[in-house]
Structure 1
């Protein structure tokens, strides 16, 4: 049945990618308000079965209705409070605000614990960052500044990047493309009372990533291994993609979004051009139904799982990118691409509706380890909500 639905949807929007490389896309429309209203009902319903003391939503296994929960140290802990903050931003519902505050509060331990990996940005910026943006709570600002300093302890000046996974001892120094998303916390802190060194660290990290982890074919490695003494690039690898030289979908979208943020914060045109290059390669390789498979080079395509989370991240990244581009036609190209992705995710093929407590179906987490395959995952919901609000607020 799922294959039939996706095939049918494909027939409806087969024009999606026509003219993509020329920057002239036909836009599949969706009523953003209707989708946000549906999401608001679903989020409030989900809260009935969730308590802060029990943990944070991460995924919903096949055949189940409720979220599988994880602890505060899990890299996904910040996404659920982020979903709540986005929902509060839309609804102004004080019950949702209270829940957002309750689920945000425990994450402050991340700011004051030794840095285990690069995910501090995902954990703290998605929760406290959105909370501070919407409330101006000075306590949130203090925690975010502490978290930025904590993340900076993983920086290796010999390499010029943040060490992503200290636990992976097989690499002298590793940096993953996901880490581009965590630089926003450092850029923010440098502008809001933190050390100016945080800006330098973030700028250097983006520069080295651009030079070595973005490949000549306009795709990205998942992981770059470096000599921790000399900084020399050793080799590019994958962990969650199909192969070292394949195009892992979510990694590509972390790059699109991350380099757009880096360009916004630094004004560097080379970061902007990198984001554009990654976005164009992503769009040019999208399948006809408009949503990426988990890896663009999986030989099992078209019988490979999709990754709705990659589509949601890509939409956010392209909306961020569009705001940096002056040329009206090019700007509209990325806005329309983002709208198309969100329209498809808002269809009955990808919306959870009555199936379970998530917003979106069909995400893929770690395919090589057979983990989180074709199920709802919380970061898909987070970036889906972000993209919907971005589209709603477009002028």
Structure 2
């Protein structure tokens, strides 16, 4: 661990500070590319969600959507903060269990959970399985009989609400691979099957309308729709949900054009709507992922080559790229960056930030204002805590970066950098 006392964004020598530590020192100590997480910022965001719920006087659970970033260390932070988590694969479930995260606070999502994954969930007594389709109901029913177990479940519904977001991030509309469609009657059929299964304890209903959502309107509409569905289930099946899970999707500010809602704005409006719609408000669950870890993450790179083209923006290349952040190539996601060792210098140009991967589309930032740069400068891309490491890959046989947590002036390596030996560790001779 290393300790520094400066806690400002920029140090006296013009360097970017992260969690009280000079980012240039982090790059020197751990190498680049490097994922860095400010853990104080993560804890603060969780506290903001909790405070908003308590202010709204709602029973609640915060369930960290760990697909955004899933390693042992982050699950241990979530355990310390006494929140739930949701996982979407056997690998995420295994990682959480290895981290010592309590299984009764785990929700298991996914549209095509395998038999083995469901057995793993049942045998480890996960808190709740989010049922997504009829095949899964049948699989789980058979497993519970064989294992002589009972388990809590929730029905994932597609309520017909489409979020204003990238089309790949929309999940609540009728035409979706996720959940039981409400309009066609699938949800009613699923409800009947689950209520008739004595080994399944139906905890409630769930919906998720998308990701990177900035307005409150979609969430208010979702709350209205979920209460409407709950009332219909009460009339038809004499069932009132203990829990309504409104999913996640709260947007963050990746650049100056993004204007995210605050936790208090979202939760206060939802609370008002729920209290108007029903006398007995169920416990409300939300599943923030990106909004918890995204703004707390930084990716540090070392600047290398440069290509200058007359009358066009230059290309400034770094030692990472689409292998450690696929989102710009996949979603056309927009980020901002700073030169970490020149925070006190004026910007003099606009350049393309290019990755090192053998793809013309490997551009991390299309138009980035920069001061004068030289090879060896450290570039920090901001707000990369979500879907960076979790979507990282070994394209071009490049090792994945290390991950470092910083908190209160201390740094700790939580994921080692992959080596060339790691890349071939599963390969077999022919």
| TM value normalised by structure 2 | 0.27
**Higher share of residues assigned helix:** 1
| TM value normalised by structure 1 | 0.28
In terms of Rg, which structure is larger? 2
